[in-house]
Amino acid sequence: MDNWTREQWEDVRSQSPDAAFYLYTPLCGTCAVASKMLEVIAELKPELPLGKADLNFVESMAVDYEIESVPCLLVQKKGELSHKIYAFQSVPYLLEKLS
């Protein structure tokens, strides 16, 4: 999973109908667990554009996307933002939301 800037996320959103962007903070313990889950997802779904960013470096996204907490996974389906996932329940749950 690559680190993306906001501009890279916007480029991916415009070029790919399905994509996901993971927002986290480095001192968040829950984010560390979510990161491990998303590494598994990245291996299972290599065709899905999936990036990540430390929310401290893309602060404007917190306002523009109305991010309520971290971890947060922005999911785009068919060109539209379809989900903001805050509870990373399990890898199968995330696979279902991304499929």
CA distance 14 to 8: 10
CB atoms within 10 A of CB 80: 9
pLDDT in tens, 51-92: 999 999 999 999 999 999 999 999 999 999 999 999 999 999
CA distance 7 to 64: 13
Walk me through the domains of the chain, giving residue ranges and CATH numbers. Answer: 2-98 (3.40.30.10)
pLDDT at 78: 93
**Sorting pLDDT into bands at 50, 70 and 90, what band is 99?**
confident
Angle 91-98/29-44 helices, nearest 10 degrees?
A: 60
Q: Which residues of 2-34 are buried (b: 16+ CB within 10 A; e: fewer)?
A: eebebeebeebbeeeebbbbbbbeeeeeebeeb
